[in-house]
Amino acid sequence: MKIGSRALLLILQNAPYILFVVLLVVFGLMSDRFFAIANFRNIIIQAAPIAILAIGMTFVLLTAQIDLSVGGIMYLTATVLALYMTGAPWPVGLAAVIFMGGFIGALNGVVVTRLGVASFIVTLATLFILRGIAMYLSNTRTLMFGDEILTLNRATVLGIPSAIFAFLVVFAVAWVILHQTPFGRQVYAVGGDPEAARKAGLPVARIVFFCFVIAGICAGVGGFVSITQIGAVGPKYGDQIEFSAIAAAVLGGVSLFGGRGSVAGTVFGAILIKSVQNGLNIINADPYIYPLVTAAIIFLAVAIDGLRTRIIERLERRTIRPVSVE
Amino acid sequence: MTGASTPFLRVEGVRKSFFGVTVLHDVSFAVEAGKALGLVGENGSGKSTSMNILGGVIQPEAGSMFLGGEAYAPADPKQAAAAGVAFIHQELNLFHNLTVEENLFVDAFPRRGVLPLIDRRAIRASTEEVLAEVDLQVKPSTLVAKLSQGERQLVEIAKAVSRNARLIIFDEPTTSLTRPEVERLFAIIERLKQRGIAIIYISHALEDVISVCETITVLRDGHLAGTAPKDDLTLQQIIAMMVGRSIDTIYPQRLRSGGGDRIFSVSGLSQPGVAENVSFDIRQGEIVGLSGLMGSGRSELARMIFGLDPFRRGVITINGKPLNDPTPRSAMDAGIAFLTEDRRGEGLLMDFTVSENTVLASLRSVAGALGILDKRAISRVSLDMASAMRLSTDRVDDTQVKHLSGGNQQKVVIGKWLRRQPVLFILDEPTRGIDVGAKQEVYRIINGLVERGSAVLLISSEIEELMGLSDRILALSRGEMVGSFDSKPFDREAIMAAAAGVGKLEAAE
């Protein structure tokens, strides 16, 4: 049984990669356009906003919390930018969304850590509040951005398209934070065993708080990258993107139960999700089937996570007497 | 090393009480640097309270402590740690998803200059150093999840060493270790002593205590029962000091039927790492006590019988019929009732009323046509239960279980099972956390169960309770049945010795 569990675990842990290869083969067989280099570049450009969001989500998920408000943060920060900062140079706009995103994330973090309300509820509430404020401010109109923002989409840095560059920067920073700073390792500690973290004297509340701040900042930045691509912000902007972000993280191996996963996996998950949408697009699938397929993938991701956690628990069960060697 | 040096830790006349009950009466003991003190006593003898005081978790009401010649009065665990007192608990405090080196430094990573970056090279170097110190040959970058239980414990010790602990307290360190791991641990403890670290070693496994410690202090009922160099004590003497009193008269008499048919049996039950070839049987109207230390597999055995945990081999027979691959449902249908160790967690729904809890295990019997619950039937059944159990309230429909006392909660748990008239009751620590008066009532109820023809498997950490109630006592150690003790009077010391894993004592038929 134990060996069977380990084999199953191995498959589950690599399920996203297996899925990815299968999808590549299927789409590749159905359309020769899918395998074009330009298409892969497109997929990564399209995946950039959601990957950035999902990277922020990873921090929150690692502490066994959840942030459902990222789509709202994205919508509100972009709306404020379109309404009040049309003439500002883009770096000012970027700084503004970073600040606003971080501030909203801090509000989430304070309510979760100080008032002890479940993050699921808190961020669900802030999601609706933020969307509500944005719709109120914009009268539910679709707002267009000027050339200052739009030209960014075509810009390149060192030959890399700006969206990909932004996403690489966020990824690199997040990776360094999680793996090379005391804070990052403590994030893992808190998520892995909150009780032990408390006993070890770690500032659990502060760590969780900063994860929400990071998720907010990433939501602002992801939204910013997204508006350079779309050029407009309307009531459907960022709608339900929180689920894609969570799905990307979970597909990439981040556990909803905290303590396990990495941003590299998350990025992979985001690219996987976008590949599916891109592939469906290329084979001219019925647009109404997109949500079904995306939902199926999310479901799969969560089911895999649950199964994986159960197996790991079984493998780590404490034994009373030595297990005889097989 | 001089024998007459002043002790490194001195505890003098420490007293502590909770809610007016004194749990520690002027207890004193001392440990020298480089020596080990064994602290033994039954459950409730005051060991944990003493350790909580040493660790700064609670503060004593009287008495004083000195550490390295200075007054020592930690206000919280952090101060205790800063003073160089480290604990190695049975449940280790490690993060499985971090590496060994990260675990050692998780709350105080060294940084690279002013940057908020971990100085990986520094933690690697000092981790390698302390790992060599505790003789653990793993890479500092290994995930703790990949280590065995024994290796994890060494990581915890390495952590204590890396923080310059001067007193290390081991609390039941060997319960989940294999024998070679135990030997290795003892070698490490020896090495720690040579470094001048003082050790306090707490364990129920008395042979281990004797082989590790120079001095042994025995606590009993919160009093100091005695302290002596280990060479002056035999195992039997230690046990006698721990026990030291006769069974009180709190155990009600019951009519002994002399045992009916064998209605329940387990044979060859095995599960790797948990149980090895466990066999026993219980007769109708018989109370069989199951004795064993924490972590001996008592509760796990009960969980396997009730279908909560899997087992690989073995046959369970109830009423002459085999119970194959039990699930809680099939076990219940076969007539097994299980009172879990954790009333709050598993046995009762605290926010529900007495009535709701009463019928939970037998909902079908109070449902009318179409499976709709009959409220009046529920009330009637619950009231019957309440009077049979002599519950403190008869407002069964309005009283939430969380508002009952511990003893009354236990009555509800037993009462709800009674409705099903079980063949076998498995009671796991039925009197934990309830006061003496309520205990007595629970004892009466247990006697009532067998008088009504049920069989009882009683699991308890309190040897006296087992002796007071059981017809027969089985001893379990490390998942193996190591003794069966029959006929009163029980040989308390033999039972304790067996449970402590001191050789395998054969049963007197």
Q: Judge: A319–B273 Cβ closer than 8 Å, yes or no.
A: yes
Q: Report the residue of chain B nearest A204, measured CA to CA.
A: B107
Q: How far apart (Å, rounded) are the C-alpha atoms in residues B311 and B287?
A: 24
Name residue, tokens 């009323």.
Answer: B353
Q: What is the pLDDT of residue B433?
A: 64
Check whether A61 has a pLDDT greater than 90.
yes
Closest by Cα among B77, B55, B50, B58 to B168:
B55
Q: What is the pLDDT of residue B198?
A: 93
B151 touches chain A (CB under 8 A): no
Most confident of A146-155, B264-273, B462-471: B264-273
Q: Judge: A192–B93 Cβ closer than 8 Å, yes or no.
A: no
Q: How many CB atoms lie within 10 A of CB B71?
A: 8
Check whether B4 has a pLDDT greater than 70.
no
Domain assignments of chain B as residue spans, ordered by start: 9-243, 250-335+422-509, 346-421
Check whether A325 has a pLDDT greater than 70.
no
- Tell me the mean pLDDT in the region B296-301: 86
Q: How far apart (Å, rounded) are the C-alpha atoms in residues B348 and B414?
A: 10
**For strand B167-171 and strand B198-202, is the pairing parallel, antiparallel, or unpaired?**
parallel
Specify whether the CB–CB gap between A220 and A70 falls below 8 A: no
**For strand A156-157 and strand A160-161, is the pairing parallel, antiparallel, or unpaired?**
antiparallel
Closest by Cα among B67, B59, B28 to B166:
B67
Q: What is the pLDDT of residue B266?
A: 92
Q: What is the pLDDT of residue A62?
A: 95
User: Which of the four pLDDT bands, split at 50, 70 and 90, describes residue B1?
Assistant: very low
Residue B33 tokens read as 């640097």
Distance (Å) from the C-alpha of residue A5 to the closest C-alpha of chain B? Answer: 14
User: For the ranges A157-171, A257-271, B227-241, B279-293, which has the lowest average pLDDT?
Assistant: B227-241
Q: What is the pLDDT of residue A1?
A: 45
Domain B250-335+422-509 has CATH 3.40.50.300: yes
Q: How many CB atoms lie within 10 A of CB B363?
A: 12
Specify whether the CB–CB gap between B8 and B167 falls below 8 A: yes
Q: What is the pLDDT of residue B5?
A: 61
Q: How far apart (Å, rounded) are the C-alpha atoms in residues A239 and A65?
A: 21
B277 touches chain A (CB under 8 A): no
Check whether B508 has a pLDDT greater than 50.
no
Q: How far apart (Å, rounded) are the C-alpha atoms in residues B214 and B88?
A: 19
Residue ranges with strand state E in B6-120: 9-18, 21-31, 36-40, 62-67, 70-71, 85-88
B504 three-state secondary structure: coil
User: Which of the four pLDDT bands, split at 50, 70 and 90, describes residue B507?
Assistant: very low
Check whether B345 has a pLDDT greater than 70.
no
User: Which of the four pLDDT bands, split at 50, 70 and 90, describes residue B505?
Assistant: very low
Instruction: Measure the CA dihedral B240/B242/B248/B254, to 10°.
Output: -80
Q: Judge: A199–B77 Cβ closer than 8 Å, yes or no.
A: yes
Specify whether the CB–CB gap between B353 and B396 falls below 8 A: yes
Q: What is the pLDDT of residue A320?
A: 54
Specify whether the CB–CB gap between B389 and B405 falls below 8 A: no
- Tell me the mean pLDDT in the region B302-318: 89
B20 touches chain A (CB under 8 A): no
Please determine whether the domains at B9-243 and B250-335+422-509 fall in the same fold group of CATH. yes
Q: What is the pLDDT of residue B43?
A: 67
Closest CB to A321: pick one of B97, B117, B276: B276
Q: For the domain A36-302, what is the CATH code? A: 1.10.3470.10
User: Which of the four pLDDT bands, split at 50, 70 and 90, describes residue B3?
Assistant: very low
Q: What is the pLDDT of residue B200?
A: 94
Specify whether the CB–CB gap between B49 and B16 falls below 8 A: yes
Specify whether the CB–CB gap between B58 and B9 falls below 8 A: no
Q: What is the pLDDT of residue A63?
A: 94
Q: What is the pLDDT of residue B300?
A: 87
Q: Which residues contact A213 (CB under 8 A, 6 or more apart)?
A: A102, A105, A106, A109
Distance (Å) from the C-alpha of residue B326 to the closest C-alpha of chain A? Answer: 18
Closest by Cα among A47, A61, A241, A231 to A146:
A231
Q: What is the pLDDT of residue B488?
A: 65
- Tell me the mean pLDDT in the region A114-129: 92
Q: Residue B137 is which amino acid?
A: Q
- Tell me the mean pLDDT in the region A30-59: 87
Task: Determine if residue B244 is left, alpha or beta; phi over 0 gives left, psi from -120 to 50 gives alpha, anything else beta.
Answer: left
DSSP letter for B346, please. I
Specify whether the CB–CB gap between B149 and B68 falls below 8 A: no
Q: How many CB atoms lie within 10 A of CB B147?
A: 18
Domain assignments of chain A as residue spans, ordered by start: 36-302
Q: Judge: A192–B107 Cβ closer than 8 Å, yes or no.
A: no
CA A281 and chain centroid, separation: 22
Per residue in B66-119, pLDDT (tens digit) is: 998 889 998 888 888 889 998 888 778 899 889 999 999 988 888 888 888 999
Q: Judge: A202–B106 Cβ closer than 8 Å, yes or no.
A: yes
Q: What is the pLDDT of residue A282?
A: 82
Q: Residue A282 is which amino acid?
A: I
- Tell me the mean pLDDT in the region B224-253: 75
Fold of B9-243: Rossmann fold (3.40.50)
Q: What is the pLDDT of residue B344?
A: 61
Q: Is the ipTM of this complex over 0.85?
A: no
Q: What is the pLDDT of residue B128?
A: 92
Residue A115 CB-density burial (10 A; 0-12 exposed, 13-18 middle, 19+ buried)? exposed
Please report how many Cα atoms fall inside a 13 Å half-sphere around the Cα of residue B269, on the Cβ side.
33
